[in-house]
């Protein structure tokens, strides 16, 4: 790692942006440094109401990427300020009243931390610390994994201000290491991890989620290491899993499965195409004192895999099925067909939990696709729960596009199989002592 690119945790090192040192600039100096841009009439309203983006065509004038700009209406009155960007979004709006970034960043990061202290559950040290515009920093994401802060930039506007971001993060008492996760094509075009402050991040670390232990690989894992946005859903679904056999489609490292097993489910089966993810899922069972050999790990395509018989709880958490220019109709068809396939795995009296991380598809249209899908699987179905992002993924009130996560739980009406067994209608015994390995398909994990 190039030591010249590392900022020491004591905050020393040059902090430059634009053409002057931020530490030497107060509000008056900042006002002189701002570049004025004129908003088009139809853009003034959304920005004034808190929308964090100004699209190309919504403003007259331009500024170098990363420079602070003041946004004025057609009569020259200040509306907001922000950072100049490039591409479809040309300004990332930071608020109404200009502040030097050296003041703004510590204020907003400490405010974000204060909110997390109030709402992150006990025995949890893995959560979203900064969620872009929801925390007043559009284009910036920071996740906490124990003592490691993982930063990801979704805007070129922030690249020149990395030292300021790192200094603000380093002031938090739990931060030992700050790293940047690369992989946003339009911003860095790279891969892997860049050390920004402190000692190197370990190849593997273990974090707590509602008291359960999970392995994190901040260098190679999905997103920044874990799918933190499903944390509260994993905890909630675990309560519904007690006594039920569970199928976890697109299961990654087994988060839903571990929570279910720890809560007293029957046998779980985690289905994923990646052998590395399934190996980590097995390890997550071990970390929590659960024997992975009592559960299943299927390396398979969840779009086509089927269990040999229906189960009491199916979790369907696929990757985004809407990419690039794919039409809204094509995305809805994809979700309809996947949910039709997955819902057939649910027994009468069982639960189907299905989710989407597709921001491009509106919630009402996704729900319509889900309803059509489960209808094809045979019903009737009753919706019993609905959820969005957790509280550590806040969304600015003026930015409805910031919502992306959607989840519903549906109950398949009918007499549960366990009730049929109790009444003598079924000769099978589904007790835990009879649920040996292979009952829901062979364990093909390569771990």
416 confidence band (pLDDT: 50, 70, 90): low
Final residue of a structural domain among 207, 238, 269: 207
pLDDT exceeds 60 at position 107: yes
Q: Let me know if residue 18 belongs to a domain.
A: no
Does 88 lie in the same domain as 151? no
Q: Same domain, yes or no, for 250 and 310?
A: yes
Cα→Cα distances 102→26, 166, 175, 366, Å: 10, 11, 19, 42
* Average pLDDT estimate for 310-333: 87
Residues 132 and 80 in one domain: no
CATH code at position 305: 3.40.50.150
Evaluate if residue 13 carries a pLDDT over 70: no
Q: Is 127 helix (H, G, I), strand (E, B) or coil?
A: strand
- Residue 302 falls within a domain, yes or no? yes
Q: Which of 106-120, 214-228, 328-342 has the lowest mean pLDDT?
A: 214-228
Q: Based on the domain organization, do 263 and 365 belong to the same domain?
A: yes
Examine the domain organization and report whether 282 and 413 are in the same domain: yes
Q: What is the C-alpha separation between 83 and 447, in angstroms, rounded?
A: 47
Contact 161/137 with Cβ under 8 angstroms? Answer: no
Q: What is the dihedral of CA 242, 243, 248, 253, to 10 degrees?
A: 60
For residues 51 and 149, state if they share a domain. no
Residue among 204, 237, 212 at smallest CA distance from 123: 212
Both 189 and 67 in a single domain?
no
pLDDT for residue 433 is more than 50 = no
Q: Is residue 254 part of a domain?
A: yes
Same-domain pairing of 130 and 32: no
406 and 348 share one domain:
yes
**Residues 170 and 198 both lie in one domain:** yes
What's the whole-model pTM score? 0.85
Neighbours of 6 (CB within 10 A): 18
Mean pLDDT of the 128-138 span: 98
Domain final residue pick, 37, 60, 95: 95
Residue 224 pLDDT grade (very low, low, confident, very high; cuts 50, 70, 90): confident
Report yes or no: 10 and 178 within 8 Å, Cβ to Cβ: no
Residues forming the active site: 357
- In this structure, is residue 176 part of a structural domain? yes
- Asked whether residue 279 is domain-assigned, the answer is yes
Alpha carbon distance 431, 444 (integer Å): 24
* 376 belongs to a structural domain: yes
CATH number of the domain residue 158 falls in: 3.30.750.80
Rounded to the nearest integer, the mean pLDDT of the chain is 87
Q: At which of 95, 111, 130 does a domain end?
A: 95
Same domain, 152 and 200: yes
Domain ranges, residue 368: 227-434
Number of domains observed in the structure of the chain: 3
Residue 3 lies in a domain: no
Q: Are strands 381-387 and 346-356 parallel, antiparallel or unpaired?
A: unpaired
pLDDT value for 395: 97
Q: Is the pLDDT of residue 95 over 80?
A: yes
The answer to whether 147 and 175 are in contact (CB under 8 A) is yes
């Amino acid at each position: 790692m190039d030591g010249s690119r590392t900022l020491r945790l004591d905050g020393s090192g040059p902090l430059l942006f634009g053409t002057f040192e931020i530490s030497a600039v107060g509000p008056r100096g900042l006002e002189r440094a701002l570049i004025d841009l004129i908003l088009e009439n139809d853009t003034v309203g959304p920005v004034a109401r808190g929308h964090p983006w100004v699209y190309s065509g919504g403003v007259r004038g331009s500024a170098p990427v990363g420079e602070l700009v003041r946004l004025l209406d057609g009569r020259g009155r200040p509306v907001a300020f922000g950072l100049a960007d490039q591409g479809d979004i040309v300004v990332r709006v930071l608020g109404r009243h200009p502040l030097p970034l050296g003041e703004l960043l510590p204020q907003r990061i400490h405010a974000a931390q204060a909110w997390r202290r109030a709402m992150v559950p006990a025995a949890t040290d893995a959560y979203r610390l900064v969620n872009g515009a929801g925390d007043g920093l559009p284009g910036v994401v920071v996740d906490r994994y124990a003592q490691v802060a993982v930063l990801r930039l979704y805007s070129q506007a922030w690249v020149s201000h990395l030292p300021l971001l790192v200094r603000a993060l380093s002031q938090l008492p739990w931060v030992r290491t700050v790293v940047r996760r690369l992989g946003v094509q339009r911003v860095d075009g790279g891969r892997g991890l860049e050390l920004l402050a402190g000692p190197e991040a370990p190849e593997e670390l273990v974090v707590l989620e509602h008291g359960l232990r999970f392995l994190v690989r901040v260098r190679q894992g999905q997103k920044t290491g874990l799918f933190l946005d499903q944390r509260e859903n994993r905890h909630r679904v675990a309560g519904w899993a007690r006594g039920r056999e569970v199928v976890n489609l697109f299961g990654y490292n087994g988060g839903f499965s571990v929570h279910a097993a720890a809560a007293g489910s029957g046998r779980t089966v985690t289905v994923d195409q990646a052998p590395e993810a399934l190996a980590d899922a097995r390890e997550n069972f071990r970390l929590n004192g659960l024997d992975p050999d009592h559960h299943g790990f299927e390396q398979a395509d969840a779009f086509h895999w089927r269990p040999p018989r229906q189960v009491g709880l199916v979790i369907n958490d696929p990757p985004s099925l809407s990419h690039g220019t794919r039409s809204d109709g094509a995305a809805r068809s994809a979700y309809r067909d996947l949910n039709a396939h997955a819902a057939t795995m649910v027994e009468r009296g069982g639960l189907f939990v299905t989710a989407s991380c597709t921001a491009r598809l509106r919630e009402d249209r996704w729900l319509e696709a889900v309803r059509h899908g489960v209808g094809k699987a045979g019903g009737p179905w009753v919706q019993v729960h609905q959820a969005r992002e957790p509280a550590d993924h806040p969304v600015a009130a003026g930015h409805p596009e910031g919502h992306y996560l959607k989840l519903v739980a549906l109950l398949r009406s009918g007499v549960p199989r366990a009730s049929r067994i109790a009444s003598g209608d079924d000769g099978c015994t589904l007790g835990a002592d009879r649920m040996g390995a292979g009952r829901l398909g062979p364990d093909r994990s390569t771990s």
